[in-house]
Chains A and B, each alone.
Chain A
Amino acid sequence: MSVNARTTVGAFALIFLAVVAVAAVGGVVLDTAPPDTEPVADDHWQLDAVEPETVSEGGEIEMESSEPSNTIVVHLGSSTTGAGGGLPGLPIEDGDAPTEADIGTLGGAQRGVTPLTAALIENGHEVRFYGGIGSGERLQSLLADADAFVTTAPGALSGPDADAVNSFVEAGGRTLVASDPGNAGALTEFGSPFGVYGDAGYVYDMEHNDAGYLSVLVQPPESTPLTEGVEQVVLRGAASVGSADDSAALSTAETSRLSTTRESGSYTVAVRSESLAVVGDSSFLAPENARRADNGVFIGNLADFLVSGDAPDVSFGSPTGPGGGTPPGGGMPPGGPTPPEPPEPPENATA
């Protein structure tokens, strides 16, 4: 009996081991591991490969003129948004209840032109802000005492105000219009007496830009007083402008395109027609952009332009035309600024 049990156990163990061994060997022989996957290529993810090109930053905004004190009237359009395109819908501004942790605000409308106004004041000139026809002040009376006028929102000027500025420019008052895209209609209506117009749409450049297709790099085709010392200016969102005498102060590179036609080519974004200078962008005046590339040099030149020359001999004796009271921005896109109705248009005649 003991022999039988030993044999039985032995046979069991032998067969069991044989079966397991066959399974093991078969598994080793037949089993195929999942195929090796290739690693995902990541060379093109390195920062060097994808970092956008940017322009340098730095420099000072300096004026060269030694003119005695001038008065410059600055008009900024809407009081709820800052000038300096590219910064619409600022998260915190005057008038909005700040969150509890805030101790200050961004600074409202005037913030967008502080580099220019700071340069003017630093050189002994006086800056007066005009807040639109609803502000209680009248532009005519401000301009009567002014040497120069700056607006970053020609579309926000009411009809009488636009007429007043027209008279001011005609009388030789230096005027800077920084007109962002979307103001082509207003700019054209305002500038046509001086041979200046605005194109609809905006200019962009996919190849040469400052970290964004809207941030075009513009250059002066030739050196003019406005662009002396300027090699490259960055505009964060520029409109094409033009003039009758084809006098471009700043032009985009050949790689840029106009949004409406998508045609590539060099587009003029700044012109000067005697005492009127027009730039198709206001963002370069904003504090964030004023020291980008040669923007500071350009701003300094504009400040010099505003304070140079004789004081204009302007009178606002002529009554407002039939179009008075309506804004010149008839060609503006929907949603554009709509200034309030002038309270007392007949007063224009008395100024």
Chain B
Amino acid sequence: MMSSEKGPAEPPDESTPDTDTRTERHSPTTSDRVPPRSESGSVVDRLTTRHAVGVAVILALAAGLFVAPSVYGAVTGPDGTVAVIEIDGAIDSSTAQHVEDNLRDARMNDSIQAVVLEVDSGGGLPAQSERMYAAVDRTASVMPVYAAVDTLGASGAYLAIAPADRIYVAPSAQAVGSVGVAGAAPAPSGPNAGTSGPDKRGSDPDTQRERRQTLANLFIKNVIEQRGEEIELDREAIAHADAYLGTEAVENGFADRFGFVDGAVADAAAEAGIDDYAVDTRRTENRVPRSIPLLQQEDGTVVVDEPEGELNDDLILAVAPETWDETVGEGVVMTSYTGRLPADHTASETGVNDTKLQHAETASTSGGEAA
């Protein structure tokens, strides 16, 4: 800029063009002419250098001030992040997605160097619990993954956290473990002209029984695979599917130590080697039903029809008894063998249950046809 300004300034100076002309015409004299030119130019250069230095100082100051906060932040900021991921409520697809997404993010994100799972769940669908199990296992292979259980860390939720490097429980945790599955008792189905095959409505009782046991065995194998060395009970005792108190769980190896989320976060950060850490808490979103179906009854009143959840007793569930009702609803009872249906005077109640079951089956059948 400075030199370009000088350019236009030169033409008014008549001697300069002459000098230039001479220079061009008498090339031998060029050397004589150069020193005066350079002397006259050195004044200009001295001025521009001074200006340039001034501008450079200002620019450097501005740039320094611009960069300084980042540098300060980089020097004083956390060395890494501990992600706290919540596993809460009945386990279905959205729970599994939440945990899977956040664990994937933890693996991809360089700043996250440890994960703590904040657990309060009594389980849910076995396959979704397995999804979380796999995500936790994968994450635990690259960074510390700790789990902290308060009241419930049972059944499907316990399966999900079994691969964690360490399990903390509150001493008053009420259900840790419950390694097993539950569902309706095996029952035959009658002839049905609406199905294309005898097993479309449901397989025979022997097969139902075997499949339930297969799911239970998968669960037990997974727990033994992950915590076989910690758990001091043998396979048969684990398969009893009892849910333990926190104090019992630490004793029998279902959990590693007493503690809560903050302690787990601190320990996970220490394990990851980050003294100065940030905590990034990822909570499950509050579940809002996508739509609330309204039904108008015959008498004109409008009632809210509860949307049917993903969980019902048509499926075999990994749910602790403590949360069975809230998971599949109170209308469906876990049928126990010895609870043979009473005769006569309670038949009416039974009838109600049967009717409900029948409705549920009708719904599931229509779903099956669609599939």
Contact = CB atoms under 8 A, between A and B. Distances in A.
Interface of A: 32, 34-41, 44-45, 47, 49-52, 54, 57, 77-81, 85-92, 96, 98-107, 132, 156, 180-182, 202, 206-207, 210-215, 236-237, 288, 292, 333, 335-340
Given A85-B337, A213-B239, 10 more contacts: A37-B142, A41-B225, A45-B218, A50-B221, A52-B210, A80-B341, A80-B347, A105-B190, A182-B340, A211-B210
Interface stretch (B92-100, B148-156, B316-324, B352-360): B352-360
Given A86-B186, A103-B192, A202 B108 contact: no
Contact of B192 (A102, A214, A333): A102
Interface stretch (B16-24, B83-91, B132-140, B279-287): B132-140
Secondary structure of the B contact surface, majority rule: helix
Contact of B342 (A40, A45, A99, A336): A336
B361 interface: yes
A88 B344 CA distance: 15
A156 B347 CA distance: 14
Contacts of B344: 78, 337-340
A37 B204 contact: no
Contacts of B236: 206-207
A89 B335 contact: yes
B190 A104 contact: yes
Nearest to A292: B206
Contacts of B110: 32, 34
Interface residues of B, number: 58
29 contacts: A35-B107, A35-B142, A37-B141, A38-B138, A38-B141, A38-B142, A44-B221, A49-B221, A50-B214, A78-B341, A85-B337, A88-B187, A89-B185, A96-B358, A99-B194, A99-B358, A100-B194, A101-B192, A101-B193, A104-B191, A106-B188, A202-B338, A211-B210, A236-B337, A237-B337, A288-B205, A333-B338, A335-B342, A337-B340
A56 to B, nearest CB: 12
Given A89-B341, A103-B193, A211 B206 contact: yes
Contacts of B186: 86-87
B212 interface: yes
A237 B236 CA distance: 19
A229 B258 CA distance: 57
Contacts of A36: 142
A81 B340 contact: yes
B195 A288 contact: no
B357 A212 contact: no
B212 A40 contact: no
Contact of A338 (B134, B192, B218, B345): B345
Given A156-B343, A336-B342, A214 B337 contact: yes
A44 B222 contact: yes
B89 to A, nearest CB: 24
B189 interface: yes
Given A40-B134, A91-B190, A181 B358 contact: no
B31 interface: no
Contacts of B225: 41, 44
Nearest to A36: B142
A338 B343 contact: yes
A176 B306 CA distance: 49
Contact of B339 (A47, A57, A88, A100): A88
Contacts of B221: 44-45, 49-50
Contacts of A57: 206
A47 B213 CA distance: 12
Contacts of A38: 138, 141-142
Given A202-B338, A212-B213, A89 B187 contact: yes
Given A40-B138, A206-B239, A335-B342, A90 B188 contact: yes
Given A50-B217, A91-B357, A102-B193, A85 B340 contact: yes
Secondary structure of the A contact surface, majority rule: loop
Contact of A212 (B209, B340, B353, B361): B209
B240 interface: yes
Contacts of B141: 37-38
Contacts of A336: 340, 342
A236 B340 CA distance: 13
Given A87-B188, A336-B342, A37 B138 contact: yes
Contact of B337 (A34, A88, A288): A88
A237 to B, nearest CB: 4
Contact of A87 (B107, B205, B339): B205
Given A81-B341, A88-B335, A211-B206, A206 B240 contact: yes
Nearest to A239: B338
B108 to A, nearest CB: 5
Nearest to A334: B342
Contacts of A339: 343-344
B338 A182 contact: yes
B346 interface: yes
A88 B184 CA distance: 10
B350 interface: yes
A65 B337 CA distance: 35
Contacts of A236: 337
B86 to A, nearest CB: 22
Contact of A335 (B107, B108, B217, B339): B339
A212 B212 contact: yes
A91 B107 contact: no
Nearest to A332: B342
Contacts of B239: 206, 213
A37 B338 contact: no
B343 A78 contact: yes
A81 B357 CA distance: 15
B362 interface: yes
Contacts of B185: 86-89
A180 B138 contact: no
B214 A47 contact: yes
Nearest to A101: B194
B205 A37 contact: no
Nearest to A336: B342
Contacts of A50: 214, 217-218, 221
Given A47-B214, A85-B337, A99-B358, A337 B187 contact: no
B217 A52 contact: yes
Contacts of A44: 221-222, 225
Contacts of A41: 137, 225
A211 B141 CA distance: 35
B346 A335 contact: yes
